[in-house]
Copies of this chain bind each other. A is one copy, B any other.
């Protein structure tokens, strides 16, 4: 149990209770290092089975605490990924097979400035989401 301390630390720092399901969920996200759907998180747990409802509630709590980030990949369900040391992280999504790959640097500050100059009803922007869609190299070949 090497991850144990790391995961526990994360929860402590975020001011969240450390429970077995939460530790398992966080550990799974940590191992994955890419956005996982709730269903996938549960699948990645292995022996430590966690109720679906608990996963929904825990991930929402994590999100509110800033531990994880909800990313929208254009599928019709949420994906979550750990918020790491890295800055803004976004994804390229394959429209054919769903594969994703992360990239960084979207110049959010500039984007927000630009947007706020155009809209009248907003002055506060606290977050953003971005995804690029295309074909991964494998699917690009298959689809000729």
**Interface size of A by Cβ–Cβ distance < 8 Å?**
43
Contact A101 B122 (CB under 8 A): yes
Q: CA–CA, A57 to B8, complex, Å?
A: 47
Q: CA–CA, A140 to B124, complex, Å?
A: 8
A95: nearest residue on chain B (CB-CB)?
B126
The quantity of this chain's copies bound in the complex is: 2
- A122 contact from B72, B94, B119, Cβ within 8 A: B94
A108 to chain B, nearest CB (A): 9
A63 to chain B, nearest CB (A): 11
Residues in chain B near residue A118, CB distance under 8 A: 103-105
- A133 contact from B90, B102, B127, B133, Cβ within 8 A: B127
Asked if A12 is at the interface (CB within 8 A of a chain B CB), the reply is no
B interface footprint on A35-71 (CB within 8 Å = 1, 0 otherwise): 0000000000000000000000000000000000010
Residues in chain B near residue A120, CB distance under 8 A: 101
Knowing A121-B99, A125-B132, A134-B125 touch, does A74 contact B72 (C-beta < 8 A)?
Answer: yes
Q: CA–CA, A112 to B131, complex, Å?
A: 10
- Residues of chain A at the chain B interface (Cβ within 8 Å): 70, 72, 74, 76, 78, 90, 92, 94-95, 99, 101-107, 111-112, 114-115, 118-138, 140
